[in-house]
Amino acid sequence: MSFDIICFDCDSTLSKIEGIDELARREGLGAEMARLTNAAMNGEVKLEAVYGQRLSAIRPNKQSIDWLAEAYIAERVDGVEEVFAQLLALGKTVHIVSGGLRQAILPLARYLGLPEEQVHAVDVYFNKDGSYQDFDEHSPLARNGGKAEICRQLLKPDSKLVMVGDGNTDMEAKQAGAYVVGFGGVVDRAIVRELADVYCPEANLKAVLTHVL
């Protein structure tokens, strides 16, 4: 099956890290935040139940977001450059659709040759001194079902869309008529194995090309 529009999650899909967990570790809150992230990605709790809670505890400032942006690039998944280069060379429309923080993901997107308007994630706001102010509480990507909302917006008549990701929120893209490729190369989740249309356990992202081209 060949797709015109190809969407990727970011955390544990394009990069080996979970951004919010890395920010938490930086503030000495790692174990508790990782537990909340895993619960949301495994479908045990609603994303909106933990999203604001995590950010209120961590309060990431501009400096820590810049640090995370570098970490996303440094920890990128094997094969990610080749995948993006091949898809873009073929004229495919590629998007990043993530519940992560947009300002931290944008440098990785640029590195992979993607314009910022094709990055869909949650904006974080800072005070004038760079300290944390808030996040975009109205973003659909900060709640369950948000990736399905974004996929509906991106899906054009007579086009086929695929979502590639590692978590329960990625599986929700099926509600929008998306085909879903579960990527287990970083984290192997039982719910993703169960719900994905096809599952890739390989650590190299190039494994997904067979299923999207």
How is residue 77 written in tokens? 């998944």
Q: What is the Cα–Cα distance from 94 to 132, expressed in whole angstroms?
A: 30
Return the CATH fold of 5-212.
Rossmann fold (3.40.50)
- pLDDT band at residue 48 using 50, 70 and 90 as cut-offs: confident
Identify which of 193, 166, 8 has the alpha carbon closest to the alpha carbon of residue 97: 8
Q: What is the Cα–Cα distance from 182 to 96, expressed in whole angstroms?
A: 15
Lowest mean pLDDT among 47-56, 156-165, 187-196, 202-211: 47-56
Q: Evaluate if residue 32 carries a pLDDT over 90.
A: no
pLDDT at res. 43: 84
pLDDT at res. 105: 98
- pLDDT band at residue 31 using 50, 70 and 90 as cut-offs: confident
Number of neighbouring beta carbons within 10 Å of residue 70: 12
150-193 pLDDT tens trace: 999 999 888 999 999 999 999 999 999 999 999 999 999 999 99
Q: Domain residue spans in the chain?
A: 5-212
Catalytic residue numbers read 9, 11
Query: What's CA 38's distance to the chain center, in Å?
Result: 14
Reported for 206-209, long-range contacts at CB under 8 A and 24+ positions apart, including other chains, are 206/78, 206/79, 206/82, 206/83, 207/79, 208/83, 208/164, 208/181, 208/183, 209/83, 209/86
Q: What percent of the chain has pLDDT over 70?
A: 100
HSE-up (13 A, CA, CB side) for residue 14: 31
User: How much is the average pLDDT of 57-71?
Assistant: 97
Q: Evaluate if residue 1 carries a pLDDT over 80.
A: no
- pLDDT band at residue 37 using 50, 70 and 90 as cut-offs: confident
DSSP state of 155: P
Q: What is the Cα–Cα distance from 183 to 181, expressed in whole angstroms?
A: 6
